[in-house]
Structure 1
Amino acid sequence: MSRFFIISLLKIVLSRRYLLSILVFFGIFSFSPALKAQALLPYTPELNQDFFDNYGSQLLQDAVQLTRFQEYELAVSRAKLAVQLSPNRYEPWFILGTLEIQSNNLEQGVKALQEAKKLAPQQADVLFSLGNSYFQVGDYEASVKELQAGLKINTEVPQSYFDLGNAYFKLTKYSEAIASYQQAVKLEAEFWPAINNIGLIKYEQGKIDQAIESWRKALKIDSKQAEPTLAIAVGLYAQGKQEEAVKLGQTALKMDNSYGSIEFLKENLWGEKLLNDTRKFFTNKDIEPLVKKETSSN
């Protein structure tokens, strides 16, 4: 599970009001038609970097607003223009990088975030976003490094401890992963994804009862979550408790059929032991009709 909170992250950076609107910008640059006799040149105002910074800030604000409507292409174009206007400020690079990652332009996103880090190496939000982007491109060691650096600056971000746990998970450093997830829960008691992922690790360690216990804890926080519901079903099925398992599995897949895809489960950090048992579970005659067609043969 490696998602969440993109808009709130962007809003953190935009902490001040913006002085100039787009209309003002175009008003300044709109001159009268050329005079027939060029005895007098039209007045050209002297614009300093503060002007461009202010206009760039307005573009960033527009970009963040566009993400609310999932207009990522338009948001990215505004962020790119903001970078051109204010290349020495970290905020445009940070927002551009975050939007590129959100748009699945991973390489461009990482490069933009690296630029943001050069300009603001002590900005925890930049480090957190860069760490998350490294995770998405599969560089888990770099992800751990950036997330740890960010958490040294700001220790109160449960989402970043969760991301750190995910990176450790991919590196099969299970003890470190569990400790990171536990810290996320310590900061936010109802952070069920961290509890859920502790269950994923326990299952890979062969501790099925402890895994099921973690998933039940996650469901106590939010009973409508398909992932822990399906995970419990798979665990119970592996233990031979087929009737209860099938009922839970049907409930989970009716909640969210995305979890009927083995590829989707891989993306959500389900390990090989759990996936192998899931494949067996998906062949059950009462579960198979609910499984996504592209994964029913796995």
Structure 2
Amino acid sequence: MAGGLWNLAQPAHPQALVPHVLQLDGNQLEEQGLRLAQEAAQLAQFQQFQLALPRAELATQLAPDNADIWTLLGSLYLQTENVDEGIRALEQAKTLDQENPAILFAIGSAYFRKQDYNRSIEYLQAGLRLQADVPGALFDLGNAYYMLRQYDQAIAQYQKAVDLDEEFWPAVNNIGLALYEKGDIEGALQQWRSAIEIDGSQAEPQLALAVVLYSQGDREQALLLGETAIRLDERYGSPDFLRENLWGDRLMEQAQAFLQLPRIKETIAQSSQTSPSE
């Protein structure tokens, strides 16, 4: 029998096709990673963070030596509340680009979110040593000092931010918050009035001013300001939101009483009903 027992013992199988794997060189891989990173950045601009994240993750694998891509990945993790992963990605970016202040500022901001204010200060200061004229970083540094109740240090950083950008109302507002916690009520009121002059569409300084004026007996003016503030941004009717915005113990004690006033409670209820989120 032709072929002998071999043919009987072996079942007939068609020859398997070995799939062809495209071999990419390093430059091609990096180019593909850059394209993915660009897609991720574009998605992030439209707040499509969950779609952007896997693209950025893959981009770091294809272009692992690109600090910008690691920075993008870190920022996306922070946007999706993965703070620890964000810090790890940003630390990798820092190892690749040690003289980039933006990376240090981002790490400092991430540690602030972890409530590790000393580490936050460390990184923000390191970034400011490389680039001192960044109002946002000075503001963040002021906030870290504020959370440590180092109010004089906080005010000094906020003032540096305002000196660089006189229209930077959040820094003016937060000088008021720090002064109030220090017991300088008139100084705080002046800062909040200045913040309103810079941008009258902002709710926070108007509400802070309202709370303090009410405690001083200027009740009708205070109620009008408070109603205006809550109509501008109904989130300021929430004590939790005020805490998130660094309102300190002294101001919060008065704010909680103010928010329980009938006219203010009614305004909060009306604003909640007409809020776009509803």
TM-score band by shorter chain is: 0.7 to 0.9
Q: CA deviation at 1:59?
A: 1.1
Note the alpha carbon deviations across 1:85-112, whole angstroms, 9 max, x for none.
1222222211111111011111211121
Counterpart residue number, 1:189: 166
Q: Which has the higher contact order (CA 8 A, sep 6+)?
A: 1
Q: Is the 8 A contact 1:261 1:292 kept in 2?
A: no
Please, which runs of 5 or more residues in structure 1 have no aligned partner? Answer: 1-35, 294-298
Counterpart residue number, 2:5: none
Letter in 2 for 1:254: R
Q: CA deviation at 1:48?
A: 2.3
Counterpart residue number, 1:113: 90
Counterpart residue number, 1:250: 227
Counterpart residue number, 2:6: none
Distance in 1, matches of 2:248 and 2:56, equals 37
Matched, 1:79 2:56: yes
Letter in 2 for 1:217: S
Distance in 2, matches of 1:130 and 1:98, equals 9
Matched, 1:145 2:122: yes
Among candidates 110, 135, 138, match of residue 161 of structure 1: 138
Q: Mark the structure with the bigger radius of gyration.
A: 2
Among candidates 195, 201, 204, match of residue 227 of structure 1: 204
Among candidates 206, 223, 227, match of residue 183 of structure 2: 206
Q: CA deviation at 1:38?
A: 9.5
Q: Give TM-score scaled by structure 1 length.
A: 0.82
Which is further off, 106-115 or 210-219? 106-115
Q: CA deviation at 1:290?
A: 2.7
Distance in 2, matches of 1:128 and 1:170, equals 17
Distance in 1, matches of 2:133 and 2:27, equals 33
Counterpart residue number, 2:257: 280
Please, which runs of 5 or more residues in structure 2 have no aligned partner? Answer: 1-13, 271-278
Q: Is the 8 A contact 1:260 1:292 kept in 2?
A: no
Matched, 1:241 2:218: yes
SS at 2:65 equivalent: coil
Letter in 2 for 1:58: R
Distance in 2, matches of 1:90 and 1:202, equals 40
Distance 1:287 1:86, change over 3 A: same
Q: Is the 8 A contact 1:67 1:75 kept in 2?
A: yes
Pairing of 1:12-161 with structure 2 (within 5 A): 46-161=23-138
More helix by share: 2
Distance in 1, matches of 2:124 and 2:259, equals 36
Q: Is the 8 A contact 1:165 1:176 kept in 2?
A: yes
Matched, 1:269 2:246: yes
Distance in 2, matches of 1:42 and 1:235, equals 74
Note the alpha carbon deviations across 1:163-183, whole angstroms, 9 max, x for none.
111111111111111111111
Counterpart residue number, 2:195: 218
Q: CA deviation at 1:127?
A: 0.4
Letter in 2 for 1:192: W
Supply the RMSD in Å over aligned alpha carbons: 2.0
Letter in 2 for 1:156: D
Letter in 2 for 1:170: M
Q: Is the 8 A contact 1:94 1:116 kept in 2?
A: yes
Distance in 2, matches of 1:285 and 1:244, equals 15
Distance in 2, matches of 1:102 and 1:38, equals 47
Distance in 2, matches of 1:54 and 1:122, equals 24
Letter in 1 for 2:61: Q
Q: CA deviation at 1:45?
A: 5.9
Distance in 2, matches of 1:182 and 1:132, equals 19
Identity %: 45
Q: Is the 8 A contact 1:132 1:143 kept in 2?
A: yes
Q: Give TM-score scaled by structure 2 length.
A: 0.87
